Amino acid sequence: MKTKESKIPEATIKRLSTYINCLERLQVEKHPVISSEMLGEYCQVSPAQIRKDLSYFGEFGVRGVGYDTKKLEAEIKEILGLNYNWPTTVVGVGKLGLALLNFTLFSQHGFSITAAFDNEPGKIGTELAGGIIIQPTSAIEDTVRDRGILIGVITTPADAAQKVADQLVAGGIQGLLNFAPTKVKVPEEITLRNVSITSELDNLAYLMTQKKKTRRR
Amino acid sequence: MKTKESKIPEATIKRLSTYINCLERLQVEKHPVISSEMLGEYCQVSPAQIRKDLSYFGEFGVRGVGYDTKKLEAEIKEILGLNYNWPTTVVGVGKLGLALLNFTLFSQHGFSITAAFDNEPGKIGTELAGGIIIQPTSAIEDTVRDRGILIGVITTPADAAQKVADQLVAGGIQGLLNFAPTKVKVPEEITLRNVSITSELDNLAYLMTQKKKTRRR
């Protein structure tokens, strides 16, 4: 697949991810072919935006007919690199870690959880759904290397996050998704995304406070 | 507190949220006063960026001395509207919902969970930590109104999200944080933030795929 330019807006990538989720629902609801209007309705995105987002990557669908739901999903997954199977590990099996380990959308998007780590003695050795056994964090580096794990999801408390990131990097991880409420430092060649749930809530509170002030004026 | 301009960059708001988390850790580690260099080191943000972020909202700290850790935390919380207590509800008590309900950072940031809803008969009536009893989703509208709940966190499957959003809005919710893997439509006056965990992972996969391609060239 040829891309028109190498610099695709992050918002476009985010929407492509939304389109996948919508296309999956549309297949479950037995829509083999859809128009960009209908996809737009499902995804809460304008049809023009959908066409623009897809145009970065080539030609999709048939004019006057629409998109083949299943084919478009596969094509978007190819664009995002999701047809590849990404061996993934979750470090920190607290409540959030456990929620992510059981997140069925992960596997639908090509992320296969192949290891889980925690440093709580009571958790180590516990078997999770899917047969994964919780290992001690001291085993991170070797396990990541031996199993060729490429993506690490960090769901530890803040004070453990940097050490865990270092161990993952030492094992050869290539991408990190950090949910710990702190930033971590990694070498430049590692792809890092920070997800802060409290920062989303804080932002919500800030926007609501601003609206309240505006209304008062 | 006077703000220099009403349009503060979203990235600044996000970092303010990070500063709170860092300032909390610094207090636990017994640092009553810190320099912007030290705060920068803790938050992985440059000292200049910290000073710039804070300058939107006035003067903080003492030149040559630094910031009073506790005071700065309180000041940033005031900026973000977190000194206010935000009555919050979580709808959808699956694994992610449960993780969020038990998220201690919520209360530290001023969000107090006062109700939880699910539509699974086996869950309704169950008492959660903190004494919250899971109610049926049919009770959303009345409960939100009666308890003056202002923020709704949606952690339902995609196909239930819009109905739940409508019920929350009908009850008088003012802000929504949507974790369901679909967009929801709400009236303009409602503040809405969508958090898509799969989209973060998809983005990570996309960035990693792009890096791989670049290396190959």
Contact A21 B175 (CB under 8 A): no
**Cβ pair B50, B40 in contact under 8 A:** yes
User: What confidence tens digit (pLDDT) does each residue in B49-106 have?
Assistant: 999 999 999 888 888 888 999 999 999 999 998 888 899 999 999 888 988 888 777 8
* Domain regions of chain B by residue span: 10-78, 86-199
Q: What is the pLDDT of residue B129?
A: 82
Dump pLDDT digits (tens) for A156-165. Answer: 988 899 999 9
Q: Tokens for A194, please give them.
A: 């920070």
**B5 pLDDT above the threshold of 60:** no
pLDDT at position A2, please?
Answer: 44
Interface of A with B in 65-124 (CB under 8 A): 79-82, 84, 86, 94-96, 98-100, 102-103, 105-106, 109-111
Is the CB of A159 inside 8 Å of chain B's CB atoms? yes
| Contact status of A202 with chain B (Cβ, < 8 Å) | yes
pLDDT at A217: 59
Buried b (16+ CB within 10 A) or exposed e, A8-44: beeebbbbbbbbbbbbbbbeeeebebbebebbbebbe
CATH topology of domain A10-78: Arc Repressor Mutant, subunit A (1.10.10)
Asked whether A80 and A3 are in contact (CB, 8 A), the reply is no
In the predicted structure, residue A5 carries a pLDDT above the cut 50 = no
pLDDT score of B123 more than 90? yes
Closest chain A C-alpha to B74 CA, distance in angstroms: 14
Query: A204-208, B15-19, B208-212: which range is least confident on average?
Result: B208-212
The residue in chain A having the minimum alpha-carbon distance to the alpha carbon of residue B7 is: A210
Q: Does B207 touch chain A (CB under 8 A)?
A: yes
Q: Is B12 on the interface with A (CB under 8 A)?
A: no
Q: With pLDDT > 90 as the criterion, what percentage of chain B qualifies?
A: 53
Asked if residue B86 lies in contact with residue B151, where contact means CB atoms within 8 angstroms, the answer is: yes
Q: Residue B102's pLDDT is what?
A: 81
Q: Does A151 touch chain B (CB under 8 A)?
A: yes
**pLDDT tens-digit readout, B175-189:** 999 999 888 999 999
A6 confidence band (pLDDT: 50, 70, 90): low
In chain B, residues with a C-beta closer than 8 Å to the C-beta of A204 are: 151, 175-177, 191, 193
**In chain B, residues 173-192 whose CB comes closer than 8 Å to chain A:** 174-177, 181-185, 189, 191
Q: What is the rounded distance in angstroms from the CA atom of residue B97 to the CA atom of residue A99?
A: 9
Min Cα distance B23 → chain A (Å) is 11
Q: Which residues in chain B are contacts of A109 at CB distance < 8 A?
A: 198, 201-202, 205
**CATH architecture of the domain covering A86-199:** 3-Layer(aba) Sandwich (3.40)
ipTM above 0.90, yes or no: no
Dist. CA A43–CA A85, nearest whole Å: 25
Q: Do A211 and B189 touch (CB under 8 A)?
A: yes
